[in-house]
Structure 1
Amino acid sequence: MNQMIITGKKITLNSLTAVHKAALIKAASDGQLWDLPFTVVPNEQTIDDYIATALNGYTDGTVLPFVIAIKESGLIVGSTRFWKIDPKNRSLEIGHTWIASSWQQTFVNTEAKYLMLMYAFEELKCIRVQFTTDEINEKSRSAILRLGAKEEGIIRYERIMPNGRKRNSVRFSIIEEEWPPIKKALAEKYDFQNL
C-alpha cells in the first residue's frame, strides 16, 4: 500500500496499515467504542478482520482507509475512510469514522472531514460526496448537518448490525457546486484558511 498522508492544522490522516493495530485498539478502548449500538468499531477480537477488510477495499480500488493522528504528538485517536469510491461517476462516501471518546466534540472530527472533503473535491475531482449514519445516532446526524451537507432521506434496513438489529440509515450529500461556499464557511469558522 502506498503511504498517503493528508496534513491539516492539528491532525494528519495517515494510510491505515497493519502496524496501526495496537494504536487503534487503544483508541477504541477510550470509551469502549465497540459497545456503541450504531456503529462498528474494532476490539481485540475483530481488529484483524477490520484491517483486512479496509486493505482489501484498498486493493480493489473502492476504499482509502486512514488513521487519524494528532499532528503534534502523533497519537492515533481514531479512523476514517473514503469508501464506495466510484471513479466513473466521480463520487464516494466518507464514513467508517470513529474517534476516541476523549477526543470527541473537539477539533478532530471537523478537521478530518474538512481535509477529506477538500481532497475529494479538489484532488479526486468528485462531483458528489455522501455520508451515511444510523437513524438513531443524533450526534453524528447533527455533526454532518453542521458541515453543510444536505439530508437526502432515510434508507430503511440499510444494513444489519453486529447485534442483529436492522438499521435504518440517513443519507446526506455535498455536491460540487456546494463545496466552495461550504469550504469558505468552514475555513472561516475553524481557522482552516491556510490549509
Structure 2
Amino acid sequence: MALTSSEINDYAQTPTMEYAGVRLEQLSPEHADDLAQVVTTGGLDEIWYTSVPSAQDMLGDIKKRLALQAAGEMAPFAIIDMSTGKAVGATTYLNIDESNHRAEIGSTYLSPEVQGTGINPAAKFMLLQRAFEELDCFSVAFCTHWHNEVSRAAIARLGAKQDGVLRNHKYDPITGTLRDTVIFSILPHEWPAVRTNLQARLARHGRI
C-alpha cells in the first residue's frame, strides 16, 4: 500500500534506505504478521508506559499510520533485518511540521531479540541522515514517557539534548494515568558529532 510522491509531502515520504545490514522501507499491511510476532514474543504491548500496538490490533495500527501518512502527518517505516528479510520493528517520522522544517522520530518498537545488535543505531542513523542531509530539518525531536528510563537513556546516548518536560501532557484512558513527556532534540550543527557517535557504535557491533 505505497503512496506516490504526488500524494504526500517530502517529509511524509518513505524512500527505501539501507545501511549496516538494516533496511527501512514503507510500512505496509504485508508487515503485519512479522510485527505481530515481534510484540507477542517480547511482550512489548504489555509495558504500561509505552504505546505499542497489540498483535490483534497490528493491522489496524498499520492502517492508522498509513492514513496519517496520507494526511502528511507521519512517515512510517518497517525496520528490516537484512540477514533474515523479516520485519523486526517499526519506526516513524511523526508530528511533521514541513513549513518549519521540524519532525519527531518516534512510535518506535523493536524485537528484544535484536536489541543490542546495532539495528536500532542503524535505523536512527538513516532517519537522522535523511532528516538533516536531504530534508534540511532545523530540529529533530524525540519524546518519551518520564517513566520510560530505558528510552530516555537510549535517546541521550544518541547525543540528543533534553529540552524539558511537559507535565500532565497526555491522558491514557486505558491506565487512567497522565503522562509527563520528556522532550529531546538534535539540531543541524550537532548532527556531525551524532553521526560519528552512531558510526562508532555500529563499528563496535561489526556492522560497518
TM-score by length of 2: 0.87
In 2, are the aligned partners of 1:120 and 1:126 still within 8 Å (CA)?
Answer: yes
Partner of 2:38: 27
Partner of 1:191: 203
2:151 pairs with 129, 135, 140, which one? 140
Partner of 2:7: none
Partner of 1:101: 112
In 2, are the aligned partners of 1:82 and 1:95 still within 8 Å (CA)?
Answer: yes
In 2, are the aligned partners of 1:29 and 1:100 still within 8 Å (CA)?
Answer: no
1:147 CA displacement: 0.4
In 1, are the aligned partners of 2:37 and 2:55 still within 8 Å (CA)?
Answer: no
1:23 CA displacement: 1.2
Q: What is the CA–CA distance in structure 1 between the aligned matches of 2:31 and 2:201, rounded to whole Å?
A: 32
1:117 CA displacement: 0.5
Q: What is the CA–CA distance in structure 2 between the aligned matches of 1:48 and 1:157, rounded to whole Å?
A: 30
1:105 CA displacement: 2.5
Q: What is the CA–CA distance in structure 1 between the aligned matches of 2:73 and 2:89, rounded to whole Å?
A: 20
- Partner secondary structure for residue 137 of structure 2: coil
Q: What is the CA–CA distance in structure 1 between the aligned matches of 2:196 and 2:111, rounded to whole Å?
A: 28
Partner of 2:9: none
The reply on whether 1:48 has 2:28 as its aligned counterpart is no
Matches within 5 A, 1:26-175: 26-161=37-172, 162-175=174-187
1:106 CA displacement: 2.4
1:38 CA displacement: 1.4
Q: What is the CA–CA distance in structure 2 between the aligned matches of 1:38 and 1:5, rounded to whole Å?
A: 30
Equivalenced residues, count: 194
The superposition leaves residues 13-32 of structure 1 with CA deviations (integer Å, 9 ceiling, x where unpaired) of 11101111111101111211
- RMSD of aligned alpha carbons: 1.8
In 1, are the aligned partners of 2:139 and 2:187 still within 8 Å (CA)?
Answer: yes
Any stretches of 5+ residues in structure 2 without a counterpart? 4-13
1:49 CA displacement: 2.7
In 2, are the aligned partners of 1:149 and 1:174 still within 8 Å (CA)?
Answer: yes
1:125 CA displacement: 1.0
Partner of 2:10: none
Share of identical aligned residues, percent? 34
Q: What is the CA–CA distance in structure 2 between the aligned matches of 1:67 and 1:107, rounded to whole Å?
A: 16
Which residue identity lines up with residue 11 of structure 1 in the other structure?
Answer: V
Moved over 6 A (4+): none
